[in-house]
Amino acid sequence: MTDVAALARQLHQAQRSVREIDQPDPLELADAYAVQLALLELRYADGERRTGPKLGFTSKAKMTQMGVSEIIAGVLTDAMLIGDGADVDLGRFIHPRIEPEVAFRLGRDVDAANSIVEALDAVAPGLEIIDSRYRDFRFDLASVVADNTSAAGYVLGPWQSLPEELGEREVQLTVDGVVVESGSTSAILGHPLEALRALQDMAARYDIPLRAGDVILAGAATAAASFGAGLVTAQVAGLGPVSVRGVR
């Protein structure tokens, strides 16, 4: 049986000490979400505040890159937020990767009686820094859920009101001006709003809160790139760019 508290402590320590750990013994998905919750409690006890949920593996590109086949959810905190265009010290991370995201903001609470799509009040281009706490960035579905879906940092471009249509928008990830990944918002479960509907389903199953003001990352449309020194920019057509600079 999984020792939920012990694995949460190990993962928390790995993140804080910037040291990778071995993958845990196989665990059930429900236990993995319990570990994630316990891990977040440790971060809250350190003074961090939850800022919203994030989705993982909502695109084939990501599933194929990591060898998994199911959508997962994690939690963002204020300590993970990095300003648009800011420098970030790569020493904070074990083996960071970076990926383009579409970010949404909730204007009101969502529960079973109302639709998440109707509760949205803004959208922004985003970047997510992921940093598995597991050796060599290798994991199975349950172990990455326990590790809060590799969440390590996120950057938001300017918030803007929701456009009529968000499907089939070109997504590009560039490093020092060179395109390293490209795709389309339609890679995110066919449409980013489908990812949000999937999140609402998961929220019911796993008791995930969806609150006014929450920031939601819908999941990367492309594979992640390794994050080293240099300027990384994500562009989502019509939403504009968002950037972060890795520094050593």
Q: Rounded CA gap, 85 and 112, in Å?
A: 37
Using rule CB under 5 A, residue 152 touches Mg ion: no
Provide the minimum distance between the beta carbon of 241 and ligand OOG in the complex, in angstroms, as a whole number. Answer: 18
Q: What are the residues whose beta carbons fall under 8 Å from the beta carbon of 39, sequence distance 6 or more?
A: 8, 11, 12, 146, 147, 148
DSSP 217: E
Q: Which is nearer to ligand OOG, 62 or 105 (CB)?
A: 62
Using rule CB under 5 A, residue 147 touches Mg ion: no
Q: Rounded CA gap, 73 and 97, in Å?
A: 18
Nearest to 149 by CA among 47, 247, 62, 213: 62
- Binding track over 88-117 against ligand OOG, x by CB under 6 A: -----------x------------------
Provide the minimum distance between the beta carbon of 94 and ligand OOG in the complex, in angstroms, as a whole number. Answer: 12
**CA angle, corner 117, sides to 111 and 122, nearest 5?**
110
Nearest to 24 by CA among 3, 55, 42: 3
Query: Are the CB atoms for 187 and 203 separated by under 8 Å?
Result: no
Provide the minimum distance between the beta carbon of 55 and Mg ion in the complex, in angstroms, as a whole number. Answer: 7
Using rule CB under 6 A, residue 132 touches ligand OOG: yes
SS3 content of the chain, % helix, strand, coil (to 5): 30, 35, 35
Provide the minimum distance between the beta carbon of 17 and ligand OOG in the complex, in angstroms, as a whole number. Answer: 19
- Binding track over 90-129 against Mg ion, x by CB under 5 A: --------------------------------------x-
The region of 81-89, 107-115, 142-150, 204-212 touching ligand OOG under the rule CB under 6 A is: 142-150
Strand partners, 77: 50
The region of 19-27, 173-181, 184-192, 216-224 touching Mg ion under the rule CB under 5 A is: 216-224
Q: Which phi and psi angles does 204 have, rounded to 5°? A: -65, -40
Using rule CB under 6 A, residue 150 touches ligand OOG: yes
Q: Which is nearer to ligand OOG, 153 or 246 (CB)?
A: 153
Q: Which is nearer to ligand OOG, 31 or 99 (CB)?
A: 99
User: Site residues (CB under 5 A) for Mg ion?
Assistant: 128, 220
User: Site residues (CB under 6 A) for ligand OOG?
Assistant: 56-57, 62, 66, 99, 128, 130, 132, 144, 149-150, 219-220
